[in-house]
Copies of this chain bind each other. A is one copy, B any other.
């Protein structure tokens, strides 16, 4: 029995190249999980086969800017003329339904989320070592050495922000990282601040 019914917002983040997308995919490939992947909103046009409300919530630039103004986005960024962000109402609705919502985003986005929802669970995916991160970035191929060096420098700066997160998960293997995250999600449901939210309602009155 869990006393709390509200879901937990799980923010998975970390430097580009660390493999956070692969880890997130592995988490959702599990059977019987109670997790909901947070769908992003974007102003770019749908590509062939993309479905609104599945791949993205597609919207106009006008609507997106209005949402920014009204604080209706958990985080957002502009990228080559298009806007991308996480709609707050969708996340809130899923949390209220008791789903744990998983957000996989860049470090800057995660820090934005922390400002809006400091009680979310922030997980930093870290490389086992810097040479290993370089190897992974190189493994994606076709990157020029200057681009690789730039990404390594950015990763180092981002690792310097890891203390802003509640957890640091070393992605040595995808399976290990996935297991660690699943333990964290379960443990978060026992965090006293979360349990006490419903404590008065459930235990103390009895």
List residues 169-186 of chain A with CB under 8 A from any CB of chain B: 169-170, 172, 176, 179-180, 183-184, 186
Would you give the 0/1 interface string for A180-206, flagging 1 where the beta carbon is closer than 8 Å to chain B?
100110111111110110010011101
B192→A163 contact, CB < 8 A: yes
- A173 and chain B: residue at smallest CB distance: B1
| A169 to chain B: closest residue by CB | B190
A128 at the B interface (CB under 8 A) = yes
By a CB distance below 8 angstroms, the chain B residues around A193 are: 163
* CB atoms of A162 and B196 under 8 A apart: yes
Chain A: residues with Cβ within 8 Å of the partner, total of 41
Chain A positions within 8 Å of B, measured between CB atoms, are: 1-3, 123-124, 126-131, 159, 162-163, 165-170, 172, 176, 179-180, 183-184, 186-193, 195-196, 199, 202-204, 206
